[in-house]
Structure 1
Amino acid sequence: MVLTTDVPTREALVRRASELVPALRENAAGTEENRRLSDEVIETLADAGVFRMRVPVRYGGYECDARTLVDVAAELGRADGSTAWTASVYWIPTWMTCLFPEAVQDEVFSTPDVRICGTLSPGGTATPVDGGVVVSGRWGFISGAHHSHWQEIVAVLVGPDGPPTPVMALVPMAELRIIDDWHTSGLKGTGSVTTVAQEVFVPYERVVPLADVLEGRHASAVNADRPIYRAPLLPVASASSVGSVIGLARAAKEAFFARLPERKITYTGYESQREAPLTHLQVAEASMKIDEAEFHAHRLAALLDSKCADGSPWTLEERARARADMGAVCRLGKEAVDVFALASGGSSIYNDVPIQRIARDVQAVNLHALMHPNTNAELYGRVLCGLEPDTLYI
């Protein structure tokens, strides 16, 4: 299936996302309570073109650059962390699908507004059989699984002709079993459940070496020359993820200032919180941290977009810095939210006060294995010291 489409500008897509903020905020508490996005929210995001942002133009997609992803996710994150996170997670496996052969892309992208969930962690085994592999295993933290059409799974291929090799495979969700085990303290609305495969056959054309995906090596002749698809995976995943954190930090600032005019500081002489020098220091500190987080997010996006545009090779230091920028966004965003949350007082622990949900969501992001600030800072420092990275995920 080959389509043509008018590709909206970055400004148009950001405006669409911004227009969704009031409705998504209204639904945020319900999203958290239901532990997944509602069908209505999914439809709203689809109507805004959110699921087309990394789809090739020839299938009706937009092929958006990284800066657009950051800015759109930031608007969604202002409304609801779970919604922004789920949208961002869909973008990454969608991009990975574009490394598969054209026939596979034809099949996957034949579904309008297709949603692909996935993971980078090996969770199963793949056994060679005639025409493909048989996969069995389980994968956790699969955000957006309930509304997905496909999942990208990672398994270890074990056969008689070589050493065990990690591979990535595309599997229809109908062939996987969902275990509804998503009971968490943060990002509750992402529906990041566990999925299970029991002897699922996957044809060879839907299986590629994980190393090829990590390096951005194509089995797709058409996409190999499309700018957004010529990059290593981890810088792509990093840039796809950080906008949600920027949005959460901005949401915390907005939520704090919305309550500020009516608040005093109990057990002090301040009848208005905004008159207290402590408040002035807190809001200045947190706002500057948001500015710093935005710098790192936009520097990361600019690096990815520029290298995709000119096709220049990535240095090891650039790849490590991409992850370091992502970690810095997470750290600074959480620090900003924490300042606003601490300044919000005891009344902010009630469920109907948004700051408590925002704080739990940004904490959950910072605990993610690939986004953890300390892990990413250590990796960057290791490379700066002239050592080889101790991970394939760079």
Structure 2
Amino acid sequence: MTPPEIRTDPTPEIEDDPMSQATFLSPVPSELTTTTTLDDVLAEIVERRGEFRTQGYVSQDVITKLKQVGIYRASTPRRFGGDALPPAEFLRLVERISAADGSTGWVASFGSALVYLAALPLETQAELYADGPDVTFAGGLFPVQPAAETTAGFLVNGRWKFASGCMGADVLGVGIPGDASTEGKPRTVLLRPDQVEIVQDWNVVGMAGTGSFDLVVRDVEVPREWTFIRGGTPTVDEPLYRYPTLAYAAQVLAVVNLGIARAALDYAEEVGGGGTGVTGAPKLADRAYYRIEIAKAEARLRAARAFFFEAAEEAYATVLAGDPVSDAQNALLRLSSTHAVQAGSEVVREVFDLSGTNAIYNDHPLQPLVRDAMVPTQHAFLSPAMYDAAGAVLMGLPPTIPAFR
């Protein structure tokens, strides 16, 4: 099948661009043929995380290595050569990466985002994965911008925020309004990187390396078949795509804080047996309050993590049994995600509070963990409002917020 022509107006340059007549994506890099393990990549991330924070995004060669270890085929349909991993399995991978670096874990978490693209027509997906299943997708979906309808699709203009991972993306998405056919839900249009301007304006306290830049699009016409409804009915009939899409989107972000909290506790437990403080006071491990509070934090993190993965595994078992995930199970997915992100942030802060004056220095190992752990708690999918919505559903009432399922 010939890929759709996606044009830009006015466009002498684009019309002459061979990409406009080629496959939608570039070929998979030859580096993917080399042998790399996840442990290798994690070690490199630890060495280079300062680089990512300074430049504001995860470097392309590391994205390539994450592709090689399967992060960006984790939600590609099996029919197109992907792994379509069970959610809990992918979440554990993101947790490990986040323990090495929160920003890289956040960017890796969008390896799950191809579940959205399962709502595209099958013919479009076949073109999307024509060069292989390792596809990186990033989206700046809000604020939703108006797009004029054309004979073929939509003429797209505007600026969108928070496109995490856009610097390493093979395909980008931006949000436009829905209509009667989408039941009012926003539509996402897909674009090639050469059709988008990335404005590098990510200047933040935490998650500084996620590259959550703005996307600007000017007069690009996108065929209707290259658009989808986020959380829309999938055209792929495989178990992963029957799992609640919006709940999964919340989980992949929440698990980042579980990884960051794990790193903070590992640090606290390792240094607790070190030397005395600057005042000559006993080492931390010899202080009862330190031992007690670290033990409490360990219990808090492990309890939140157990609830989180239990909810994921139970919901996916229901899917595998051929049944729909119930409203109560979906509520537990959303509840466990919000609880996990809050617990992770609290554990990091507790470790910081216990660590003494040295922890206030900018170059202290806990500083980036504290800053990073603040950010996921601010995401709309993980806000305190989820407690109210989940509680309502568990008591047989409608959820109190939109887009809960």
Q: Which bin holds the TM-score, normalised by the shorter protein?
A: 0.7 to 0.9
Q: Distance in 1 between matches of 2:267 and 2:158?
A: 42
Q: 1:49 aligns with which of 62, 66, 70?
A: 70
Q: Which residue of 1 aligns with 2:22?
A: none
Q: Give the stretch that moved more between structures: 149-158 or 283-292.
A: 149-158
Q: Is the 2:71–2:111 contact (alpha carbons within 8 Å) kept by the matching residues of 1?
A: no
Q: Which residue of 2 aligns with 1:380?
A: 390
Q: 1:236 aligns with which of 248, 265, 268?
A: 248
Q: Give the stretch that moved more between structures: 71-80 or 297-306.
A: 297-306
Q: Distance in 2 between matches of 1:291 and 1:284?
A: 11
- Offset at residue 202 of structure 1 (A): 1.0
2:172 corresponds to which letter in structure 1?
A: Q
Question: 1:179 aligned to 2:199?
Answer: yes
Q: Which residue of 1 aligns with 2:296?
A: 285
Q: Is the 2:161–2:213 contact (alpha carbons within 8 Å) kept by the matching residues of 1?
A: yes
Structure 1 pair 59/45, CA: closer, same or farther in 2 (3 Å)? same
1:252 corresponds to which letter in structure 2?
A: A
SS at match of 1:141: strand
Gaps of 5+ in 2: 2-35
Q: Distance in 1 between matches of 2:111 and 2:69?
A: 15
Q: Which residue of 1 aligns with 2:189?
A: 169
2:63 corresponds to which letter in structure 1?
A: I
Q: 1:357 aligns with which of 368, 376, 392?
A: 368
SS at match of 2:85: coil
Q: Distance in 2 between matches of 1:293 and 1:18?
A: 25
The TM-score normalised by the length of structure 1 is: 0.87
Structure 1 pair 76/248, CA: closer, same or farther in 2 (3 Å)? same
Q: Is the 1:125–1:157 contact (alpha carbons within 8 Å) kept by the matching residues of 2?
A: no
Q: Distance in 2 between matches of 1:312 and 1:169?
A: 31
2:49 corresponds to which letter in structure 1?
A: A
Q: Which residue of 2 aligns with 1:110?
A: 130
SS at match of 1:351: coil
Question: 1:217 aligned to 2:238?
Answer: no
1:39 corresponds to which letter in structure 2?
A: Q
Q: Which residue of 2 aligns with 1:82?
A: 103
Q: Is the 1:124–1:156 contact (alpha carbons within 8 Å) kept by the matching residues of 2?
A: yes
2:220 corresponds to which letter in structure 1?
A: V
Q: 1:250 aligns with which of 244, 247, 262?
A: 262
Q: Give the stretch that moved more between structures: 97-106 or 304-313.
A: 304-313
Q: Give the stretch that moved more between structures: 130-139 or 343-352.
A: 343-352
Deviations 1:324-351 (CA, angstroms, capped at 9, x unpaired): 1100100111111111111122212333
Q: Distance in 2 between matches of 1:105 and 1:308?
A: 23
Q: 1:309 aligns with which of 320, 323, 346?
A: 320
Q: 1:264 aligns with which of 276, 281, 306?
A: 276
Q: Is the 2:41–2:62 contact (alpha carbons within 8 Å) kept by the matching residues of 1?
A: no
- Offset at residue 115 of structure 1 (A): 0.7
Q: 1:203 aligns with which of 223, 235, 242?
A: 223
Q: Is the 1:32–1:189 contact (alpha carbons within 8 Å) kept by the matching residues of 2?
A: yes
Q: Distance in 1 between matches of 2:183 and 2:319?
A: 33
Q: Give the stretch that moved more between structures: 31-40 or 19-28.
A: 19-28
SS at match of 1:382: helix
Question: 1:134 aligned to 2:155?
Answer: yes
Q: Distance in 1 between matches of 2:253 and 2:39?
A: 18
- Offset at residue 103 of structure 1 (A): 1.7
SS at match of 1:118: strand
SS at match of 2:382: coil
1:66 corresponds to which letter in structure 2?
A: P
Q: Which residue of 1 aligns with 2:330?
A: 319
Q: Which residue of 1 aligns with 2:60?
A: 39
Q: Distance in 1 between matches of 2:139 and 2:111?
A: 8
The CA RMSD over aligned residues, in Å, is 2.4
The TM-score normalised by the length of structure 2 is: 0.84
Gaps of 5+ in 1: 2-14
1:359 corresponds to which letter in structure 2?
A: V
Question: 1:341 aligned to 2:352?
Answer: yes
Deviations 1:1-29 (CA, angstroms, capped at 9, x unpaired): 9xxxxxxxxxxxxx943443322111111
Q: Is the 1:249–1:333 contact (alpha carbons within 8 Å) kept by the matching residues of 2?
A: yes
Count residues in correspondence: 369
Question: 1:70 aligned to 2:65?
Answer: no
